[in-house]
């Protein structure tokens, strides 16, 4: 008899905690594995706040792929050299020396990826930019960031919330992103 009672209590507790977990996950009370707030150290301390904030350089000046391609692309060395070439901007800065050395020696800089989507998610920048979405919608106020941080969870819920808005007229098929 007492065994049955204990059993019933255990089952109730288990079910209760399970539903708590499901509720917490479904309502974004707990976010697991999305890396929101991730700020990796970069090989070169590139200050977005100076470039995009203080000098108001357009994001697309460096991230050239946004309007045509799936990837925004991180700029190649020659793009940096457009401004930071010999006898140009900030030549004595040690960080810029790193970029110059790499460029002159034909070395690429290995940046740490901040916003990482799994392989089975196919996000395409071009149509989003075409639809007039601002970069900050997903990437946050990059123009104020000294170090780039993952500003949103970039979870499926984050994507679908936007796609579901009637004014966006965006598809919500599975194959919109997964294929």
Partner 1 sequence: METQNTQTPKYWMSLEQWRQDPEFQKLAEKEFQSSPLQSDDGKDGWARREFLKLMGASLALTSFGCVRRTAQKIIPYVNKPADVIHGLSNYYASSFADGFEGLGLLVTTRDGRPIKIEGNPDHPANRGGMSTRGHAMILKLYDPDRYTGPKRNLQNDTRSNREIVGVKWEDLDKAVIEQLKKGSIAILGNSCLSPSTQALTDDFSAAYGAKSYRYDDVSYEPLQEATQKSYGQAGLPRYDFEKAKYVVAINNDFMGTWLNPTLYSRQFALRRRKTADMNKLVVFESLMSLTGSNADERYRIRPSQTLDLVMAILNELLINKKVSRFAGDAAVLRAVSAFAKADVGVNVADVAAELWKNRGQSLVVAGGVHSGIENAAHIHVAVNLLNAVLENDGKTVEPVGAAVVKPASANISDLIASMNKKEVKTLIIHGCNPMYSLPAAAKFREAFNNVEMIIYTGDRNDETARYADYVASDHHSLENWGDMLSLDGTYSIQQPTIQPLYNTRAMQDSLLVWAKASSKASARVKGAEDWYAYLRNNWKDLGRGKASTDDGWTELLRSGVLSGVTAGGGSRTFLTAALNEIKPASRKSGFELAMYETVALGGGDLANVPWLQELPDPITKITWDNYATISPKDAASLKLKEGYHVTLTVGDQKITIPAHIQPGQADGVVGLAVGYGRVGAGKVADGVGQNAFALAQWSNGSRVTSGIETAVAVSGGRTELACTQGHHSMEGRQIVVEETLKDFIKNPGGTVHRHKMFSMWSGHKYKGNKWGMVIDLNTCNGCSACVIACQSENNIPTVGKKYVIEGREMQWLRIDRYYVGDPENPDVVHQPLPCMHCDNAPCETVCPVIATSHSDEGTNDMTYNRCVGTRYCSNNCPYKVRRFNWFQYSEGIPTPHKMAMNPDVTVRFRGVMEKCTFCIHRIRNSKSEAKVQNRTLRPNEVQTACQQSCVTGAITFGDLNNTEWAVTKEFTSPSSYALLEELNTQPAVRYQVKVRNTEELKGAPKHHGEGHHA
Cα separation, 150 vs 147, in Å, equals 10
- Closer of 57 and 126 to partner 1 (Cβ): 126
Select from 167, 127, 135, 166 the least CA-distant residue to 152: 135
Token pair, residue 76, equals 């190649």
Asked if residue 113 binds partner 1 (CB under 8 A), the reply is yes
- Closer of 1 and 118 to partner 1 (Cβ): 118
Asked if residue 77 binds partner 1 (CB under 8 A), the reply is yes
Residues 159-178 that bind partner 1 (CB under 8 A): 171, 173-176, 178
Asked if residue 141 binds partner 1 (CB under 8 A), the reply is no
H/E segment holding residue 98: helix 94-104
Asked if residue 145 binds partner 1 (CB under 8 A), the reply is no
Q: Are 130 and 169 in contact (CB under 8 A)?
A: no
- Closer of 9 and 21 to partner 1 (Cβ): 21
Token pair, residue 173, equals 């098929």
Greatest alpha-carbon span in the chain: 88
Q: Are 73 and 170 in contact (CB under 8 A)?
A: no
Q: Is the dihedral of CA 23, 121, 45, 132 positive or negative?
A: negative
Asked if residue 73 binds partner 1 (CB under 8 A), the reply is yes
Asked if residue 86 binds partner 1 (CB under 8 A), the reply is no
Q: Which of 28, 93, 112, 161 binds partner 1 (CB under 8 A)?
A: 112
Q: Which of 29, 54, 60, 122 binds partner 1 (CB under 8 A)?
A: 122
Q: Can you give the binding site for partner 1, defined by CB under 8 A?
A: 32-33, 35, 38, 40, 64-65, 67-71, 73-79, 102-103, 106-113, 116, 118-122, 124, 126-127, 130-131, 171, 173-176, 178-179
């Amino acid at each position: 008899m007492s065994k049955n009672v204990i059993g019933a209590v255990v089952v109730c507790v288990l079910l209760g905690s399970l539903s708590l977990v499901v509720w917490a996950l479904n309502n974004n009370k707990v976010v697991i594995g999305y890396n929101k707030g991730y700020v990796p150290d970069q090989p070169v301390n590139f200050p977005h706040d100076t470039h995009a904030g203080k000098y108001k350089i357009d994001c697309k000046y460096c991230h050239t792929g946004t309007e045509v391609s799936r990837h925004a692309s991180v700029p190649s060395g020659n793009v940096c050299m457009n401004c930071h070439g010999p006898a140009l901007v900030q030549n004595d800065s040690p960080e810029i020396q790193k970029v110059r050395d790499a460029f002159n020696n034909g070395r690429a800089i290995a940046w740490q990826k901040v916003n990482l989507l799994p392989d089975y998610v196919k996000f395409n920048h071009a149509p989003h930019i075409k639809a007039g979405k601002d970069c900050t919608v997903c990437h946050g106020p990059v123009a104020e960031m000294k170090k780039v941080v993952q500003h949103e969870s970039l979870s499926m819920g984050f994507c679908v919330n936007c796609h579901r808005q009637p004014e966006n007229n965006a598809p919500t098929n599975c194959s919109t992103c997964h294929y």
